[in-house]
Structure 1
Amino acid sequence: MVGAVLVGVLVLVVAGCVCVVWADRGGPRWTRAVAALTVGAGKAVRSYQRNRPRQGSSGGDGD
């Protein structure tokens, strides 16, 4: 089940990237909308990762 969800997410990411390239080359209006959503999602993820507090190591070897 988890594998199917991960494959679905991967397909959505690849399709979003294809739409970004296609929209940049003058694709149909719907590709521009999907591209805007893809770029916005990427910015949101980067913003979340940048603002997330970092978890440092506790000095142990992690076992």
Structure 2
Amino acid sequence: MIFLLLGVLALVVGGCVCVVWAERGGPRWVRVVAALTRGAGELVSSAQKSGRKSGWGSRGDDGDD
């Protein structure tokens, strides 16, 4: 399990590096990876926003202790 998480972390860090490199005019493959990284970020962001509207991820606290 830890190796899977380390792999995901490596992909995320690599994608962020490609985004920064593409902004500075990197090669074509870097721009493609950067576009994929941005697209994945948008998907995650929209999933979180729609999840909040439907109650996904809410703690359910109503203030009563």
Q: TM-score range by the shorter chain?
A: 0.7 to 0.9
Correspondences of 1:49-60 after superposition (within 5 Å): 49-52=48-51, 53-54=54-55, 55-57=58-60
The Cα shift of 1:56 comes to 4.2
Number of aligned residues: 60
Identity of aligned residues (%): 57
Show structure 1 runs of 4+ deviating over 4 A.
58-61
Cα deviation digits, residues 23-63 of structure 1 (max 9, x gap) = 100000000000000000000000000001223426577xx
Residues of 2 paired with 1:50 and 1:24: CA distance? 27
The alignment's TM-score, normalised by the length of structure 2, stands at 0.83
SS of structure 1 residue aligned to 2:60: coil
The alignment's TM-score, normalised by the length of structure 1, stands at 0.85
- List gaps (5 residues or longer) in structure 1: none
